[in-house]
Copies of this chain bind each other. A is one copy, B any other.
Amino acid sequence: MTAPRIVHGGSIAAAAARFGGRPEDWLDLSTGINPTPVALPEIDVAAWHRLPDRHRQDEARAAAAHYYGTPNALPLPVPGTQSVIQLLPRLVPAGRRAAVLVPTYGEYARVLDNAGVAVDRIDNLDAATDAHGLVVVVNPNNPTGRLFDRETLLALHARVSARGGLLIVDEAFGDLRPKTCIAPLAGDGTPGLLVFRSFGKFFGLAGLRLGFVIGESAVLDRIEDGLGPWAVSGPALTIATKLMASDTGPIRDAIATRKAALDAALAAGGLDVIGGTGLFSLVEHPDAAAINHRLCRHRILVRPFDYNPRWLRFGLAPDSAGDKRLAEALADRAG
């Protein structure tokens, strides 16, 4: 039996159909994407026209190695790390179980389940045992923001790889916490470690569908074979090549400003932020469902969690008008 598809954030059209308004009337706070996308660099005609050839991929890989600081590996571009999650079942050694540190991004356990892999949803790293041929840790975690330091992850990696297993560290939200990122350690010298990075969240270009995978070449080869040739679009490779070589300081500053404004609006609304990353805040409240409903009537979409009805995840508003709108909706106790 196939597990039901997960309802992710970003479904403005569905929310508008239910609560009214045109999609463009809605304020989308349901994702963890930088709401102030960087200006697009120029895209050459050939990027659109030609199949994205090896040369274009190599340029993106070199730019990513510089940006992620991976001296020992050339990151492999993929059409969103979701595409690699789809391939994870074939990376589980035969007869072994998988462990996913939960709560986290739901697609890991779902894809493994659907492929018939036995999955243990573990709530602490010590629960990863010799039975597990694949262990998944999202760091910093979505939606809790739980963060492990490098030493802790390296100790876990040593345990997992000693048994021939593979540790996946998903650093989709790692761009704002480079010192805790383990990507720089991945490569042929560290077998059994695979790091996922997202391009679209930090740069605010999620529509591009681009991510990178960093690890030993033999595993990257298997992923490349699983995706097939020309998996990533030419415009995505070109944009990444240019933006990863650019000064990202202004992006960091803009995100920090937006995050501070979000947390101020949440505090003014009497909400406790119990976790998050630079790109979202997690709120816990006994009346989370009612708050979510009220926000929807104000045409503001946030992210609830079926597995924890006391939680709501708030993404960053694109501007101070959005912050104000959120604060007003939270203050509308009558709504």
Contacts and interface: CB of A to CB of B under 8 A. Distances in A.
A197 to B, nearest CB: 16
Interface string A204-223: 11111100000000000000
Contacts of A53: 10-13
A85 interface: yes
A81 to B, nearest CB: 10
A225 B3 CA distance: 10
Given A47-B207, A48-B37, A49-B37, A228 B86 contact: yes
Contacts of A2: 225
Contacts of A45: 37
A10 B232 CA distance: 15
Task: From A46, A79, A205, A227, name the one whose CB has the most chain B CB atoms within 10 angstroms.
Answer: A79
A209 B230 contact: yes
A278 interface: no
Contact of A50 (B10, B83, B228, B231): B10
B8 A229 contact: yes
B31 A51 contact: yes
Nearest to A57: B13
Contact of A13 (B12, B54, B80): B54
A181 to B, nearest CB: 23
A202 to B, nearest CB: 13
A301 to B, nearest CB: 11
B23 A55 contact: yes
A236 B10 CA distance: 18
A11 B50 CA distance: 10
A52 interface: yes
A80 to B, nearest CB: 6
Interface of A: 2, 5-6, 8-14, 23, 28, 31, 33, 37, 40, 45-55, 79-80, 82-83, 85-86, 107, 111, 114, 204-209, 225-236
